[in-house]
Amino acid sequence: DTGVSQDPRHKITKRGQNVTFRCDPISEHNRLYWYRQTLGQGPEFLTYFQNEAQLEKSRLLSDRFSAERPKGSFSTLEIQRTEQGDSAMYLCASSLRDPPYEQYFGPGTRLTVT
Amino acid sequence: AQTVTQSQPEMSVQEAETVTLSCTYDTSESDYYLFWYKQPPSRQMILVIRQEAYKQQNATENRFSVNFQKAAKSFSLKISDSQLGDAAMYFCAYRSPTSGTYKYIFGTGTRLKVLA
């Protein structure tokens, strides 16, 4: 069990650029989640996958955001035309299908939009 | 919609002492899961303890225990014999059991400082 990994750990981009983040969940976990955490706040849910199917999306996930999980393994989160308000920590988590459903979190990708 | 409130932005505790972090939540559901997560500086969140709402017995994990008051919708975390390594942000999280709703709803966190 190598844990949830995320790449890159830090990303600085200019406003208007596109960025893509990757998450590798724990290998036997079929559920994968993306959260966004801004300074002084708790993580907020963005989207959820069960295997390769994206089953839930938050209203926070605007049209500029897209997430995929091809083949039910790793996942990518893309932000198009970044805005300064997108600056945040993007967290990925994974879990098994069965109770107690606890989620295991990755170290996050810190995005800074200048 | 469910909400989670952590009313203590910051707490301090002397090493070896006991501290209690508060969490309240609002839900109309009768069965759910509650979690406490620890987020050390620049490190990933790790699970501290979990509680199933249908269980009356409070969960305990070594020095960490909870006081789960279902009627009051309260879920506090007690850390006994505090250690320097306990310094971190602590988040309370709620998870609905409803099929298809697997996300956590987090509180805003409590920063715990441990004083030597």
The answer to whether residues B45 and B36 touch, using CB atoms and an 8 Å cutoff, is no
pLDDT at A72: 84
Q: A66 vs chain B: nearest CA distance in angstroms? A: 18
Task: Tell whether the model's pLDDT for residue B31 goes beyond 90.
Answer: no
Helix and strand numbers (H, E) in chain A are: 0, 11
Q: Using one digit for the tens of pLDDT, what is the confidence trace for B49-103?
A: 999 998 889 999 999 999 999 999 999 999 999 999 999 999 999 998 776 668 8
Cβ-in-10-Å burial (0-12, 13-18, 19+) of A105 comes to buried
**Minimal Cα distance from B111: which residue of A?**
A40
Average pLDDT taken over every residue of chain B: 93
Q: Do B44 and A106 touch (CB under 8 A)?
A: yes
The answer to whether residues A35 and A108 touch, using CB atoms and an 8 Å cutoff, is no
Q: Do B108 and A4 touch (CB under 8 A)?
A: no
pLDDT at A98: 73
Q: Do B104 and A56 touch (CB under 8 A)?
A: no
pLDDT at B30: 86
pLDDT at A13: 98
SS3 (DSSP) at A71: helix
Mean pLDDT by 10-residue block, N- to C-terminus, for chain A (114 residues)? 90 98 94 93 93 90 93 94 96 86 93 97
Q: Which residues of A touch B (CB under 8 A)?
A: 3-4, 31, 33, 35, 40-45, 48, 55-56, 58, 91, 95, 99-108
Q: b/e for A44-73, b at 16 or more Cβ within 10 A?
A: bbbbbbbeeebebebeebeeebbbebeebe
**Minimal Cα distance from B5: which residue of A?**
A42
DSSP type of residue B84: G
d(CA A13, CA A19) in angstroms, rounded, equals 8
Q: Using one digit for the tens of pLDDT, what is the confidence trace for A79-91?
A: 999 999 999 999 9
